[in-house]
Structure 1
Amino acid sequence: MWLVLCNPGDQAARWVCTGLRERGPTPVELVDAEMLTRSVRSAHSIEEGPARFETTLPDGRVLASDDVDGVLNRLTYAPVGHLVFASVTDSCYAMAEMSALVLSWLQCLAPVSVNRPSPLGLSGPWRSPAEWSLLAAGAGLRVAPLRLSGESPTTARNPVDRTVVVLGEHVFGGEAVPGLVPGCRRLARGAGADLLGVDLELDDRHGARFAGATLLPDLRIAGPPLIARLHTYLTRLPARPW
């Protein structure tokens, strides 16, 4: 079985799930974060041998880590709004425990996941725009200047004219900026991301330059060729060590 894990309302994930099902023959299940955090029964073993879990989702489906052969991981948070108690301290504790549990579940699936979990993010490390810019420069990409505000911790987003999607060694949408394709591949490898969206700012003088990156690109911009390549990618994932 393959899993597509996503946040509620992730239409790109639903599009991918439909495309993978059409290619068959491996069953594909879509599970969003609210289903995981509202499971009606869960068992999680981490004491002996490889960690495993089995959970019954609210719709009755049983999700067991041993049955999963491949995962497209697009989770970014564990919804815990239903864990509200009289005490703020108790509510915060319950929310932290649920987030840790979801991260541990994802770690069970990490060997067969496209975009593995991290303590800094459920589908990979969260990075600030400045951190992405440093990685991009190290990958050999021209980088657009960042506008930083001394009054706010946020960074103004650079304008985006084109987004390319990197899956392994394949870059979708890079036909118009072929000179940047090797750098986009190096950026994904440097970020430890199997799947990465790279935003570009077009420049009449120099072609294009890096404007941002995301672990959650809108995969629909890559079209059916991405579905075909993702199907192949999942099919060729190595067997888990258990």
Structure 2
Amino acid sequence: MWLVLCDPGDLAGMWAYDGLRRRGLTPLELLPPGDLIFSSRSAHRVDESGASFEARLPDGRVLASRDVDGVLNRAGFARIGPLRFATETDSAYAREELSALLLSLLECLAAVAVNRPCATGLSGAWRPPAEWTLLAAEAGLPVAPVRLSHRSTWEPPAPGNGRALVLGGHVFGGTEYGQECVRLARLAGTDLLGIDLRRDGGDRAVFAGADPMPDLRPGGDAFLDALHDHLATLAGSR
């Protein structure tokens, strides 16, 4: 089976789910990440042979990690409401513990996930703008000057002219820096990356930011076709 992990308010994730379903990817499940950690009954096993989980879904079915052939992972963070009779400190501690649990569960699916979870992001590493800029420069993308000091906070250049989507070595969106965008995604360790570009006052496009959980809709049907094939490939590799 295949999964799209996203919250109900994630319009891009819902769009991808609908597009994959129309392309015949089946069985395909749409699952909020919170259903994994708030399951009424679950088992999570970690030993020398690996890690796995089983979780009872709200409709009573049991989801086992071993049955997942591929997953579009758009888990942002563990969503929990206010805890009754808990201080803010205790609530913050509970959120961290639940995030750690969700990260461990997602790691069971890492081999077939787009994107893989990591310690700095449940759906790929989140980096400060300055770090993204350094990676972009290493990848060969033109970047704007960055000035950092203890007296001021650097603000990234505002996106304004377009976004490129990178998926598994393919680029969607009009950009003359296709190879550089692919290189940036590889340096970032992500299968799927959104890269913002802007014009620097002339004709040159300049790096303006990156996002491991981007809006997918600008990629259109071509992106959905590639995502379908990419998920099928993950299933075969497993």
User: What is the TM-score with the length of structure 2 in the denominator?
Assistant: 0.90
Q: Which runs of 5+ in 2 are unaligned?
A: none
Matches within 5 A, 1:44-193: 44-146=44-146, 155-174=155-174, 177-178=175-176, 180-193=177-190
| Aligned-pair CA distance for 1:62 | 2.5
Gaps of 5+ in 1: none
Q: C-alpha distance in 2, partners of 1:144/1:153? A: 15
Residue type of the alignment partner of 2:24:
G
- The answer to whether structure 1 residue 207 and structure 2 residue 221 are counterparts is no
Could you tell me how far apart the structure 1 residues matched to 2:156 and 2:148 are? 7
CA-CA distance at 1:82 after TM superposition: 4.9
Aligned to 1:165, the other structure's residue is in SS state strand
TM-score (norm 1): 0.89
CA pair 4-203 structure 1, distance change in 2 beyond 3 A: same
Shift of 1:23: 1.1
In the alignment, the residues of structure 2 paired with residue 160 and residue 59 of structure 1 have an alpha-carbon distance, to the nearest angstrom, of 44
Q: Secondary structure at the match of 1:143?
A: coil
* C-alpha RMSD of the superposition: 2.2
Shift of 1:203: 4.0
Q: Which amino acid aligns with 2:159?
A: P
Q: In 2, are the aligned partners of 1:38 and 1:57 still within 8 Å (CA)?
A: no
1:16 corresponds to which residue? 16
User: Residue 57 and residue 85 in structure 1: after superposition, are their counterparts in 2 closer, same or farther (change >3 A)?
Assistant: farther
Instruction: Work out the percentage of aligned pairs sharing the same amino acid.
Output: 57
CA deviations 1:124-155 (Å, max 9, x no partner) are 11100000000000000001245768567573
Q: Secondary structure at the match of 2:209?
A: strand
Shift of 1:84: 4.6
Distance 1:107 1:85 in 2: 32
